[in-house]
Amino acid sequence: MEELPRPAVGGATGHLPPRFQTDGTRKDTTPVGTDQEKARTVIGDFLQRIDKGADGWNDETALWGEGIGLDSLEAAELSAMLEDEFGSDPFSAGGDLPEKVGDVLAFYAIVST
Amino acid sequence: MILLLEAAAASSPDREAVVTSQGSSTYGELLEDARRVATALRRRGITSFAVVEPDAAWVLRLLAGAALAGAEPCQYQPDTDATEFADHASMLDHKFVVTRRDDLTGSFELIRPESLVAEEADDALRAGANTEQPQPLMIRTTGTTGLPKAARHDWRILGKTVANVRPMPEQRWLLAYGPQQFAGVQVLLHVAASQATLVAPFPRQPKDGLDALLTKGVTCVSATPTFWRFLLAEAKSRKATLPPLEQITLGGESSPGDLLEEIQTTFPTAKVSQVYASTEFGSITSVRDGKPGLAVDSLWSESNPTSNVRVTDGELCVRAGAGMLGYAGESPTVSSAAGPDDTENGEWRRTGDLVEIVGDRVMFRGRQSEVINVGGVKVHPLPVEDRITSLDSVALARVFGRPSKLTGAIVAAEIVPVGGVERADVESIRTQIKEAVADLPRAWQPRSVTFVDAIETKGGKTIRGMED
């Protein structure tokens, strides 16, 4: 089973689904569902479209700054793509913004198995 | 309308005036029917009424009859939602609704159009219309950018716009607008003034217009650029050979350069004109040089003092030619609702159309209400849309604002690919779009591109602005 990433640092929980503890660890051991894999595909497509992340990225890659280096317009684009796919997205859900790729994936952890 | 009908019927009573899916009527028949409608209206004491009717021949009978009787008709889209209609009927205090629909309910009496035709017309009405008497007409705005309003007009003023039209009886005009729209009323007036034939299919979708072009001998078409894009796309998908046209008029929206080129290439012998008009201001100006936008030379200046168009602070301002008397429920002096005064001169009204002077042209950049605020940057959707629709792989496109928690809004685009979504290489089109907008400021570049089979329109116009 894939190790679930930690959510945003700094006690950010606003966008976390209830399956997670406030420290970001999972409460149960439900297998990771397909939504996370879909979200990973969406992120991959998005990075390809904006010509970023060519050097490789993983769950620990930061979305901002030295990581992928998204600016607000690019983040808004990713937000729209995720919303189109899932109907909701971690950038629009309130609370702190996701900081790492894994934070985005964690948002979609409540899925059917 | 009634005066034009009287003139046409006197000149050529047996000429075909209107062709619809229900049959055809001559000018003589229409005039007689209008007189019988006027008689019925007078006998029943009806001074104003709503019309919810799809058949253009009936619409003409009712409008002309009302003008003769001095009654005020107010048309609605034939398939208007019953609940919405009830709200508007209440707001505008309609006591009578002429329709064949049975599902319209409210504080009004439903009258079937056939029952509003007297057995015989009163002799007094055969003497001709009284030009001293008001000939009111209420026209609702399309409401593409908000709730529709109702503008009060008078046929005698509207008729001035066609005073110089000479008889062209061989012309057959397609009614692509709803006759409830201002542009539709303009077509009715023009056809009657030119004593031509109105070809009025229903529904009035572009595919129906294309059918009429292919089978009904249409020679002239007045429609929105959006209608033309759909019609040409439909013709391409059917591999239809389009007949030559004599006159093409575009209005209601700005006409992109690539569309004008496509129209001129498809109909090389047609005269193409672009009309600038609105429900509130009436018909203001027209362009016949085949280029997008207006010529700078046509703007008001000391050397061109009769022009009704000028630019103030990047917005087009106009002086109403055959404009409305006012909105329903407001006194005529409050017609400032049509747009605030240009502060320098009270007779000029702001239109809400944003423009930019580029060389010798005044280019339209979209409606004030369509501006998308992307993180504080004001984006006009029209120039973005123009770049996308100019791509060979794109049949139709709509650019609008999509709410974003991060930037307030992002620019979004809906794309109808040539040949349909199923057969399209959408990733290739995405790349083409990216390249086409690459030189625009980053906030202007679409961040959400979706591929669809059809684009929703309202009143034949593309809906831009912010999505809910």
Rg of chain A over Cα atoms, rounded to whole angstroms, equals 13
Confidence of residue B326 (pLDDT cuts 50, 70, 90): confident
- B415: pLDDT strictly greater than 80: yes
- B335: pLDDT strictly greater than 70: no
User: In chain A, which residue's Cα lies nearest the Cα of B430?
Assistant: A49
What integer is the mean pLDDT of B98-103? 96
| Three-state secondary-structure class, residue B227 | helix
| Residue where the block lists tokens 């490789």 | A56
What integer is the mean pLDDT of A5-12? 31
Confidence of residue B292 (pLDDT cuts 50, 70, 90): very high
State whether residue B207 sits within 8 Å of chain A by CB: no
- State pLDDT tens for residues B356-381: 999 999 999 888 888 899 988 889 99
What integer is the mean pLDDT of B422-441? 94
In whole angstroms, how far apart are CA B290 and each of A1, B250, B265, B270, B464?
Answer: 65, 11, 11, 11, 25
- More confidently predicted of A18 and B9: B9
The confidence score (pLDDT) of residue A61 equals 94
Verdict on whether the full-model pTM lies above 0.80: no
B447 to chain A: which residues are within 8 Å by CB?
Answer: 73, 76-77, 80
- More confidently predicted of B322 and B215: B215
Confidence of residue A111 (pLDDT cuts 50, 70, 90): very low
B404:A79 CB<8 A: yes
The confidence score (pLDDT) of residue B146 equals 55
Estimate the crossing angle of helix B206-215 against helix B225-238, to 10 degrees: 60
Answer yes or no: are the C-beta atoms of A16 and A24 closer than 8 Å: yes
- B437: pLDDT strictly greater than 70: yes
Shortest distance, CA A2 to any CA of chain B (angstroms): 30
Bridge-based pairing of strands B172-175 and B220-223 is: parallel
Concatenating the DSSP letter of every residue in A32-99 gives P-HHHHHHHHHHHHHHHHTT--TT---TT-BSSTTSS---HHHHHHHHHHHHHHHS--TTTSSSSPP-
Shortest distance, CA A52 to any CA of chain B (angstroms): 15
- More confidently predicted of B352 and B19: B19
The confidence score (pLDDT) of residue B331 equals 55
The confidence score (pLDDT) of residue B304 equals 92
Mean pLDDT over each residue of chain B, to the nearest integer: 90
Shortest distance, CA B367 to any CA of chain A (angstroms): 24
User: In chain B, which residue's Cα lies nearest the Cα of A89?
Assistant: B405
- More confidently predicted of B195 and B278: B195
- State pLDDT tens for residues A24-45: 343 333 344 588 999 999 999 9
What integer is the mean pLDDT of B308-329? 85
- More confidently predicted of B37 and B330: B37
- A19-23, B323-327, B416-420: the lowest-pLDDT one: A19-23
The confidence score (pLDDT) of residue B63 equals 98
Where do the CATH 3.30.300.30 domains begin and end in chain B? 371-462
Shortest distance, CA B226 to any CA of chain A (angstroms): 26
- A contact test, residue of B431, B434, B447 with most A CBs within 10 A: B447
Where do the CATH 3.40.50.12780 domains begin and end in chain B? 2-337
Q: Which domains does chain A have, with CATH numbers?
A: 34-107 (1.10.1200.10)
CATH code of the domain made up of B2-337: 3.40.50.12780
Of the partner residues A73, A91, A92, the one whose CB lies closest to the CB of residue B447: A73
B450:A84 CB<8 A: yes
The confidence score (pLDDT) of residue B143 equals 60
The confidence score (pLDDT) of residue B148 equals 66
Residues in chain A: 113
- More confidently predicted of B74 and A66: B74
The confidence score (pLDDT) of residue B440 equals 92
The confidence score (pLDDT) of residue B388 equals 96
Estimate the crossing angle of helix B182-193 against helix B2-11, to 10 degrees: 30
Of the partner residues B405, B448, B450, the one whose CB lies closest to the CB of residue A77: B448
- State pLDDT tens for residues A50-99: 988 777 899 999 998 888 999 989 999 999 999 999 999 999 988 788 99
Shortest distance, CA B447 to any CA of chain A (angstroms): 5
Question: Dihedral, CA atoms, B217, B219, B222, B223, nearest 10 degrees?
Answer: 50
- A3: pLDDT strictly greater than 50: no
User: In chain A, which residue's Cα lies nearest the Cα of B406?
Assistant: A76
State whether residue B410 sits within 8 Å of chain A by CB: yes
| Residue where the block lists tokens 């049959």 | B23
| Residue where the block lists tokens 């129209």 | B263
| Three-state secondary-structure class, residue B283 | strand
Concatenating the DSSP letter of every residue in B8-62 gives HHHH-TTSEEEEETTEEEEHHHHHHHHHHHHHHHHHHT--EEEEE---HHHHHHH
Concatenating the DSSP letter of every residue in B77-142 gives -TT--HHHHHHHHHHTT-SEEEES-S---SSSEEE-GGGGS-SS--HHHHT---TTS--EEEEE--
Confidence of residue B127 (pLDDT cuts 50, 70, 90): confident
**What ipTM goes with this model?**
0.73
What integer is the mean pLDDT of B328-352? 60
Q: Return the number of CB contacts < 8 Å for A and B.
A: 38
- B175: pLDDT strictly greater than 70: yes
> Which helix (H) or strand (E) is A22 found in, with range?
none
Answer yes or no: are the C-beta atoms of A28 and A20 closer than 8 Å: no
CATH code of the domain made up of B371-462: 3.30.300.30
Residue B78's nearest CA partner among B94, B54, B97 is: B54
- B contact test, residue of A46, A51, A72 with most B CBs within 10 A: A72
- More confidently predicted of A112 and B66: B66
Of the partner residues A49, A80, A84, the one whose CB lies closest to the CB of residue B410: A80
